[in-house]
Structure 1
Amino acid sequence: MSIVQEDTRKIQTLVEQSCPIEDDRIHYSVPIPNTKQDGFSPVYRNAKFATSGIKSTIHPSINTLYASFSSAVNNFADEPCLGYRPKLADGTVGPYEFETFSEINKRKNDFGAGLFFILQNNPFKTDAPFHQKIDNHLLTGDDQFIVSIFSANKKEWLITDFACSSYSLNSTALYDTLGKDTSKYILALTESPVLVCTKDKLEGIIALKNEFPEDLASLISLVSIDELDLVGSAADKGLSEKARAAGLTLFDFKQVEKLGEIYPQPPIVPKPETIYTISFTSGTSGSNPKGVVLTHANAAAAIAFAATVCPMVKSAKNFSFLPLAHIYERCVSAFALYAGAALGFPQGPSPLTLLDDLKALKPNYFNMVPRVYSKLEAALKAQTINNEEKPWLASIFKKAIDAKIELQSAQDGAEGKHIFYDPLLNLLRKKIGLENCRFATSGSAPIAPKSVKFLKAALNMGLGQGYGLTETFAGVCVSPQYEANPGSCGAIAVTTEMRLREIPEMNYHADDEGGPRGELLLRGPQVFKEYFKNPEETEKSFDKDGWFYTGDIAKIDGITGRISIVDRVKNFFKLAQGEYITPERIETTYSTTNPIVSQIYVHGDSLQTYLVAIIGIDPVLGRNWLVKNEGASASEIEDDQAFLKKVNERGIKTKFLTAINANASELLHGFEKVNNALIDLEPLTIEKNVITPTLKIKRPIAKKFFEKEFKQLYDEGSLTKAQESKF
């Protein structure tokens, strides 16, 4: 430790004065001279720091998540940190209640110390190497063991995560959609001795331990996030007895905190290279998920990137809705807390209570995925431009929104301020709890440019689209909040450099008109180093120079250097006439040009000359389309089955396909357009095992699952070709 310590308040002031970076160059990428090699594009870096090199931290002292949160505790000790809405006696939920940074800091220290106590003094602890780590880690600080978390977003989720950082422990997360076999696989692979979970998960985990006692021999303790009454409640006492019979001790969260308070342990401060978390990401082939090993250095770099593009709002509030089990929300939360923002958690995982929570919290930041934005867009349109009950109101909003879109499309950075329309649109923002929102982002999948334009205009606020992976600790780029022509994912982060690898068999080249296209390769301090206990996959993912092969096909704009993700490597096949098809690019095109399409899985057969698809239709936009274009009455299609029967009628389905093909016509060749489809509300679900938890299609499994439907579609024949022949 240094003799002289830098004052965290001075560092924070310096950061706030420097970030976000206002220089326009932050939104551009540039090629580095003399870096082009055969088969590759040049290396690109963020234009702001192209010559000085990529960055690794926001400040040398903020090089771990422990340092980041400690800085926040020092700077914002008495300000709100984590909050929730308590349930009231009548079954409703009250307003948000927050604990301060200093209170949460004490709780995470107590909980971390308590974890050591319940594990060191555990009657089921053995001499096996995975249990020896418990004592060894306290002695040396180097022999990490892994703490597992299984819960929806709650304060205790992050307190557990903070505790792991404070004691140089490694965390991993389970989530409902993994299923029993995958949960068992992760617990066995990580040899985790303790699982922190909500009460509703306990029975299932106990049963899993009973079913696989040898595979889960390392697991010896459960901690319930929800309070247990192990004396007065027969049910809770029964749970404890079941756990003990399975070789597990059972505590609740408060008990562990109290034990840690009685038996404190000094922090075991992590180094930048210390592993922070193992985030398991499901592959699209249906095999076991890969564990992405992410260090504190990766997290510090991710915070540094976020600071360059996200405003730091005083006394801000952020809504933690997206699952903390995924790295997108972990990154957003880490940055928000470093900047002194308070995190408000939803009353439950259901999106049905989303708007109620937003109105109660009034967040300054809003980070969601395209599916949520699509539902928000549909709801806003129903209240504004598609408001058939009040046509005069629809007319006013159409004029206001069209004017804003035109103004915001003038140039990058144009907020489109309008003296008459802004007050009207601000009322719309207020109605859904976003009146204080300064920053909104979309990630995990492409979002339709038309949707971005509408939402920016209707809500009178900016919206940036980002791109990243679990392997890069979430985003490595994000588009400007007010991008004149939405669609890109922005410039490469200041913490990362990129280049593209040509894929000639897919017709992607480094010298393509408009900018290079090819597989996106990344390198820098945000990029992970390995997959957990999987050297084969690690070796396949990197080249000798340390470039990580993302598997995503990107285009780099020849003028701005901004990234657009257009396809996936190896996802291509031939049709009967010999044309190559890249389904992910086609699916992205349909999704981004047709907000009415909420899901799409494109399929082709080498014995057929055209494509078919499974399409998920947005229920609100779909019903509106039927009413407007087919004269259907709202009552006639109110029932889901009646709606689906109607939209799948041959004539109506033909018109629907013709319409979505027309919207995508400038971006697709004729042979790339869908000729027939099955339309459903949500045909692609995790429960069917046809998509991953991050919503990527498991093509081999999906192909088999929908085998019968595809045969029926080909038996029915092409609908659009028959339609075209009439013209």
Structure 2
Amino acid sequence: MNADKPALGKRIKNPDGTFGEYVFENYGTVRRRRNNLGSGVFFILENNPYKTDSEAHKRMKYDPEKKTEGFILTIFSHNRPEWAICDLASVAYSITNTALYDTLGPNTGKYILNLTESPIIICSKEKIKILINLKRENPEELKNLIAIVSIDDLEEGDIELRNLGHENKITVYDMKEVETLGEIHPLPPIEPTPDTVFTITFTSGTTGANPKGVVLKNRNAVAAITFVLCTLASRFNPVNYSFLPLAHIYERLVLQHALVVGTKVGYPQGPSTLTLFDDIKVLKPDNLSLVPRVITKLEGAIKAQTIKNDANPMLKSLYTSAINAKMELQAKKENEHKNPPLLVYDRLLNMLRKKMGLEKVEIITTGSAPISPSTIRFLKASLNIGVAQGYGMSESFAGFMASSRFETESASCGPIGVTCEIKLKDLPEMGYTSKDKGGPRGELLVRGYQIFEGYYKNPEETAKSFDKDGWFHTGDVARINSENRVFIIDRVKNFFKLAQGEYVTPEKIEGMYLSKFPYIAQAYVHGDSTESFLVGIIGLDPVIATQYIKQRFNDTIENKDDIIQFFKSTRNRKILLEDMNQSIVNRLHGFEKLHNIFVDFEPLTVAREVVTPTMKIRRAVARKFFKNEIEKMYAEGSLIKDTKL
């Protein structure tokens, strides 16, 4: 249907190191490359000199009748067109794939490769030596790995890589070579069935243990795409920017849906996330799929140019009036599915959109972690666009419900979609029941076509996750209002008891501070049964922290290190904490408020392993990582003990 339409594109690198326009391959070309790659993969595995008689290698045989279980192909790269071609080849030839990503670390990468017995990895060139060395250091665990395919072209100077591979019983090819071999030795695609396993996506989890492999079949993928087709309005000749990591299920769904509807998909310049705005100014996408940590940075950047632009008071006043007027109109129920016009202000806001390269963006979707409703309201108003919040997990092949673009409350994940059903389970120990005022509350349970059937080689975790009626227990606490919209409000078991006996749920508290005090971008709340108050690890927003210091302390500090040093002062931290607590006054009980804080820029990072790649806090790991800071805060005591809470 879309053979001649542009499909997958990347920017061409200029001789001076800059990047030019996007260049696309059409759908017909992508289809041909898909078949060549699929055929070539079977050829280099079946004819591999390091093939053994192991059970894993017996599964490498091309089997159009699918009488035997197949092998698992691993992808390890940043987002690029070839990632999508690997995904398409996997579907077309009924090959199960999985993905590695940098933040997993070598130990987890070794664990996944050993568990899946993957014989082949398709990766970017800079990963090859790392992977070969991983096998050299773990020859028994990775004995089944016998082929690595470089997405980037290998040149004469790369003979050392090939030799290093042979020394460790791995053949090294580049993708162009494999596609050529597939063109010479073509094989017909092996059409998948609904029960064919499409992918195994490994969730990093919040406990710090080995990741669990979520087994997702083609039926799950088709159901997920069906949900998106039924939920988001289709556009003519859509344009996507593939920004979120394709190793995660959210972007995989975005990709598969995009290919179904004939989308032109553009990719980043490279692995860095810092090229987002540079790329979209050239690509001009009509929608963006983002996550809260990216959206809050976008919010901070917009505020610095508009309502907090102290360097230009006139512009600040104009934007403040325009954004406030827009937010007021969007809060009216009759405008829930469209953007209410304000002609004079629209012109001003559209100029801001164009400046940021967002002039064609109609909708931003967000998921994977909670986001402040105030952030959604601000983005909708300031950028004059729709923002939809979805809910899903790896276990559901990403989203299965989503809000409307201009929902008045800006806090829900919308109603349940067409592919699943949900119900709530009472949690009396946490104070959540079906009889609660404001709508039933409890643990969110889900079942349906999008929901996986089990974890890879992990029957124990599978059994723990489902009840006898087939309901998957998400671990999230939800509220359902009178219009059947779902609000995620807490996590099951994410609560602890303070010394005086009160139960505290940290995620609720973190979300409240983040939504009401715009100068912070991260918050980790900690409590202990031997202590009577809460402490917190706070991440300042680097874009607007200087503005806060100027307004609150009448001081000018630009250097980040100096800002952190500034808040090492007990007096300054106390003032910051008092302002934070004032922002959530009457919204939390006294015992739920922070009494002491440690301040830094982005203390919660994936590299420290205190959060997952989707920015969920790994509380047990975070507690150990920040042990010294926590002990110092409790030793120092409450900064606000004399303040009325």
The TM-score, its normalising length taken from structure 1, stands at: 0.87
2:497 aligns with: 574
2:587 aligns with: 667
Question: Are the equivalent residues in 2 in contact too, given 1:523–1:546 (CA < 8 A)?
Answer: yes
1:186 aligns with: 112
2:374 aligns with: 450
Q: Find 1:124's aligned residue among 42, 45, 50.
A: 50
1:149 aligns with: 75
Q: Which AA in structure 1 matches 2:416?
A: I
Compute the displacement of 1:440 (Å): 1.1
Compute the displacement of 1:318 (Å): 0.3
Render the CA deviation track for 1:631-660: whole Å, top value 9, x for unaligned.
111xxx221110111134222222222222
1:716 aligns with: 636
Compute the displacement of 1:546 (Å): 0.5
2:421 aligns with: 497
Q: Find 1:200's aligned residue among 126, 133, 149.
A: 126
Alpha-carbon RMSD across the aligned residues, in angstroms, is 1.3
1:62 aligns with: none
1:368 aligns with: 290
**2:535 matched to 1:615?**
no
1:696 aligns with: 616
Compute the displacement of 1:349 (Å): 2.7
Q: Find 1:475's aligned residue among 368, 374, 399.
A: 399
State the alpha-carbon separation in 2 of the partners of residues 592 and 562 from structure 1.
Answer: 20
Render the CA deviation track for 1:133-161: whole Å, top value 9, x for unaligned.
11263563642110000000011111011
Render the CA deviation track for 1:365-417: whole Å, top value 9, x for unaligned.
11101111111111111111222222111111111111111111111235221
Q: Which AA in structure 2 matches 1:668?
A: L
Compute the displacement of 1:355 (Å): 0.6
Q: Which AA in structure 2 matches 1:304?
A: T
Question: Are the equivalent residues in 2 in contact too, given 1:690–1:705 (CA < 8 A)?
Answer: yes
2:242 aligns with: 320
SS of the residue 1:591 aligns to: helix
Alpha-carbon distance change, 120 to 223 in structure 1, aligned in 2, over 3 angstroms: same
State the alpha-carbon separation in 1 of the partners of residues 112 and 345 from structure 2.
Answer: 53
SS of the residue 1:291 aligns to: strand
Alpha-carbon distance change, 560 to 663 in structure 1, aligned in 2, over 3 angstroms: farther
Could you tell which deviates more after superposition, 130-139 or 543-552?
A: 130-139
Question: Are the equivalent residues in 2 in contact too, given 1:280–1:291 (CA < 8 A)?
Answer: yes
SS of the residue 1:403 aligns to: helix
Could you tell which deviates more after superposition, 357-366 or 581-590?
A: 581-590
State the alpha-carbon separation in 2 of the partners of residues 514 and 703 from structure 1.
Answer: 34
1:267 aligns with: 189
Q: Find 2:358's aligned residue among 423, 434, 437.
A: 434
Question: Are the equivalent residues in 1 in contact too, given 2:498–2:527 (CA < 8 A)?
Answer: yes
SS of the residue 1:530 aligns to: coil
State the alpha-carbon separation in 2 of the partners of residues 394 and 322 from structure 1.
Answer: 32
Question: Are the equivalent residues in 1 in contact too, given 2:84–2:255 (CA < 8 A)?
Answer: no
1:39 aligns with: none
Q: Which AA in structure 2 matches 1:522?
A: V
- Consecutive unaligned residues in structure 2, runs of 5 or more: none
Q: Which AA in structure 2 matches 1:203?
A: K
Compute the displacement of 1:594 (Å): 2.9
1:309 aligns with: 231
Alpha-carbon distance change, 141 to 628 in structure 1, aligned in 2, over 3 angstroms: farther
Q: Which AA in structure 1 matches 2:548?
A: W
User: Displaced runs of 4+ in structure 1, greater than 4 A?
Assistant: none
State the alpha-carbon separation in 2 of the partners of residues 139 and 414 from structure 1.
Answer: 50
**2:526 matched to 1:603?**
yes
Alignment of 1:122-271 (within 5 A): 122-135=48-61, 137-138=63-64, 140=66, 142-229=68-155, 232-233=156-157, 236-271=158-193
Question: Are the equivalent residues in 2 in contact too, given 1:314–1:340 (CA < 8 A)?
Answer: no
Question: Are the equivalent residues in 1 in contact too, given 2:420–2:449 (CA < 8 A)?
Answer: yes
Q: Find 1:419's aligned residue among 343, 358, 381.
A: 343
State the alpha-carbon separation in 1 of the partners of residues 518 and 330 from structure 2.
Answer: 20
2:459 aligns with: 535
Compute the displacement of 1:527 (Å): 0.5
State the alpha-carbon separation in 1 of the partners of residues 199 and 67 from structure 2.
Answer: 16
State the alpha-carbon separation in 1 of the partners of residues 50 and 628 from structure 2.
Answer: 51
- Consecutive unaligned residues in structure 1, runs of 5 or more: 1-74
Compute the displacement of 1:204 (Å): 0.7
Compute the displacement of 1:663 (Å): 2.4
State the alpha-carbon separation in 1 of the partners of residues 613 and 318 from structure 2.
Answer: 41
**2:381 matched to 1:461?**
no
State the alpha-carbon separation in 2 of the partners of residues 162 and 507 from structure 1.
Answer: 47
Identity %: 51
State the alpha-carbon separation in 2 of the partners of residues 452 and 653 from structure 1.
Answer: 29
Render the CA deviation track for 1:557-610: whole Å, top value 9, x for unaligned.
1x1111111111112111111101111222222223333322111111212111
Question: Are the equivalent residues in 2 in contact too, given 1:113–1:261 (CA < 8 A)?
Answer: yes
State the alpha-carbon separation in 2 of the partners of residues 381 and 349 from structure 1.
Answer: 27
Question: Are the equivalent residues in 1 in contact too, given 2:293–2:615 (CA < 8 A)?
Answer: no
SS of the residue 2:543 aligns to: helix
Q: Which AA in structure 2 matches 1:449?
A: P
SS of the residue 1:724 aligns to: coil
State the alpha-carbon separation in 2 of the partners of residues 399 and 123 from structure 1.
Answer: 70
**2:641 matched to 1:641?**
no
- Larger RCO: Structure 1 or Structure 2 (Cα < 8 Å, ≥ 6 residues apart)? 1
Q: Find 2:215's aligned residue among 283, 293, 305.
A: 293
**2:515 matched to 1:586?**
no
Question: Are the equivalent residues in 2 in contact too, given 1:311–1:438 (CA < 8 A)?
Answer: no
State the alpha-carbon separation in 2 of the partners of residues 414 and 466 from structure 1.
Answer: 18
Q: Find 1:347's aligned residue among 269, 273, 276.
A: 269
Q: Which AA in structure 2 matches 1:696?
A: K
**2:545 matched to 1:625?**
no
SS of the residue 2:60 aligns to: helix
